[in-house]
Amino acid sequence: MAQGLIEVERKFIPGPGTEERLQELGAVLEHRVTFRDSYYDTPELSLMRADHWLRQREGSGWEFKCPGATSVSGPHTEYMELTAEPAIVAQLCEVLGGEVLGAGGVAAALGPLGLQEVASFVTKRSAWKLVLSGADEEEPPLRVDLDTADFGYAVGEVEALVHKEAEVPTALRKIHSLSSMLGVPAQETAPAKLIVYLQRFRPQDYQRLLEVYGSREKPQGTKDPDMRLG
């Protein structure tokens, strides 16, 4: 697989005082933004059922998330993020068993690989960053995104991006520490926006995912079928 950043994150349900608490901890508000996410898969959900997630974000381009290799259990997820279109196309072909389609981008590969839009929604986000007290100033900050989707669901996530698998345990400790400071219960899990969207608007697809993840050992990088990205 082409190498990308490893995203380690934990989702939680934000409360009315979450932003105030972030400010008390010294977090900096980077921006407030509104964007549309569109997710693509085959009619059989071949990608999602294999714990792979293809998204096009308005203004940001394509991203393909592939399961990480974490062996650490807990209320978090770990994915390898691919954002370069040639790498995404190559990995899509590998996962779906298709042919490499030359120099075309992701959009050109959708039809030949049988991919279609399966979800699309708008999110309002406040994006925060924070370096934990006592951490090395050169360490990358943790990021906290507070999202509200246009279908009325709100979710937060604490995220760290690392370059190597060996850095994941340290990132997890920081994520759990900040989550605790925000008052998130130790084992709380929160569904991703995409999963809630499917549950509400494409219940047959949602049930298809539950059948897969409920009938086998959990996929890499996840603890619960409702914790997937979105």
Among candidates 119, 136, 107, which has minimal Cα distance to 45?
Answer: 119
Cβ partners under 8 Å of residue 179, min gap 6: 10, 12, 158
According to the annotation, is 145 in a ligand binding site? yes
According to the annotation, is 44 in a ligand binding site? no
According to the annotation, is 32 in a ligand binding site? no
According to the annotation, is 139 in a ligand binding site? no
According to the annotation, is 11 in a ligand binding site? yes
According to the annotation, is 228 in a ligand binding site? no
Which helix or strand (DSSP H or E) is residue 199 part of? Answer: helix 193-201
Q: What is the DSSP letter of 135?
A: S
Q: Report the helix count and the strand count for the chain, using DSSP H and E.
A: 6, 8
Q: Exposed, middle or buried by CB within 10 Å (0-12, 13-18, 19+), for 26? A: exposed
Helix ranges (DSSP H) in 47-133: 85-96, 106-110
According to the annotation, is 174 in a ligand binding site? no
**Longest distance between any two alpha carbons in the chain, whole Å:** 52
Residue numbers in the known binding site for Mg(2+) are 7, 9, 145, 157, 159
Q: Which segments are annotated as binding site?
A: 7, 9, 11, 55, 57, 65, 125, 145, 157, 159, 193
Residues of each annotated binding site for substrate: 11, 55, 57, 65, 125, 157, 193
